[in-house]
């Protein structure tokens, strides 16, 4: 409680110095959990707002692009909670492409159901603790890149995206570097200024920092990575379960109901 009071004093001082006011009726103090920007935040953890989860649960199957866009807008807001979001949502996002005819097929229905199921399970993520070491696990497949930000084995956020046509032609180690650069760019606000570990499952990627001859693309990556204080560690794919699963499109449907839910359920029980 003493720390809580001290934090309030800091906030109030900043408000006073900048001549800013807040409405008393919109403030809460000394609460075990609070609602903030569509999230429920409590001691050391964060999860989706239950009202938003209920809205997703009751969402009817879209029949046109504007309805689908609205659904994906809300689902995308919570993508950090969803293991392999970009691959799961791929059949739906494809329907939003310009000049694409509307055709709601079984793949679309499956993606819609899987996204709803992932959100309805109300996964819990850990809140970052800047006194602890961050760990970034990354992986790449032929079609996607992925990563998970962790501390002491607890996921803080998931990230994944599809590779574009040019990226799919990259060598394996370049796809792995694309995953690392993408994840560090996504979580830059967490990682900048502190030492952290990057774990990947491609041995060749470990030697990127000492590589003498670089392509223009690789040189840009190296310039970006120079901003960070990190160590690269090799972690075999079989041990890099979470990130590896994120990038394996062919098994995402089954993993959604097993790996991701099991991991997050374990986190919920242990926190």
**Residue 147 burial (10 A CB sphere; 0-12, 13-18, 19+):** buried
Compute φ and ψ for 242, nearest 5 degrees: -65, -55
pLDDT digits (tens, 9 = 90+) for 193-251: 999 999 887 665 666 666 778 889 988 998 999 999 999 887 765 545 445 544 443 33
The full set of domain ranges for the chain reads 50-121, 125-270
**Residue 212 burial (10 A CB sphere; 0-12, 13-18, 19+):** exposed
What pLDDT shows up at residue 262? Answer: 41
pLDDT digits (tens, 9 = 90+) for 78-103: 988 987 788 889 899 999 988 899 99
Report the chain's C-alpha Rg in angstroms.
21
For residue 198, CA distances in Å to 6, 76, 177, 239 come to: 35, 25, 11, 14
* C-alpha span between 188 and 33 (Å, rounded): 27
| CATH dotted code for 50-121 | 3.30.70.270
| The domain defined by 125-270 carries CATH number 3.40.50.10320 | no
Q: Residue 93 has which token pair?
A: 């996002």
């Amino acid at each position: 409680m003493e720390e809580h009071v001290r934090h309030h004093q800091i906030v109030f001082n900043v408000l006073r110095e900048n001549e800013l006011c807040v409405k008393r009726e919109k403030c809460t103090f000394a609460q075990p959990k609070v609602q903030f920007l569509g999230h429920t935040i409590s001691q050391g953890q964060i999860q989706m707002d239950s009202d938003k989860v209920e809205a997703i649960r009751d969402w009817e199957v879209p029949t046109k692009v504007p309805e689908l866009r609205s659904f994906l807008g809300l689902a995308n807001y919570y993508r950090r909670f969803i293991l392999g979001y970009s691959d799961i949502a791929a059949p739906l996002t494809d329907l939003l492409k310009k000049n694409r005819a509307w055709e709601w097929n079984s793949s679309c229905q499956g993606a819609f159901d899987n996204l709803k199921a992932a959100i309805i399970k109300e996964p819990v993520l850990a809140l970052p603790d800047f006194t602890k070491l961050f760990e970034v696990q990354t992986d790449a497949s032929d079609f996607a890149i992925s990563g998970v930000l962790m501390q002491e084995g607890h996921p803080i956020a998931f990230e994944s995206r599809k590779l574009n046509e040019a990226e799919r032609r990259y060598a394996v180690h370049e796809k792995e570097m694309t995953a690392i650069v993408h994840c560090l760019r996504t979580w830059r606000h967490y990682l900048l200024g502190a030492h952290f570990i990057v774990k990947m499952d491609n041995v060749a990627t470990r030697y990127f920092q000492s590589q003498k001859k670089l392509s223009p693309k690789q040189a840009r990556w190296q310039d970006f990575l120079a901003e960070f204080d990190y160590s690269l560690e090799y972690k075999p794919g079989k041990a890099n379960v979470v990130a590896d699963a994120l990038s394996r499109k062919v098994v995402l449907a089954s993993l959604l109901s097993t790996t991701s839910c099991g991991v997050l359920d374990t986190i919920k029980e242990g926190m």
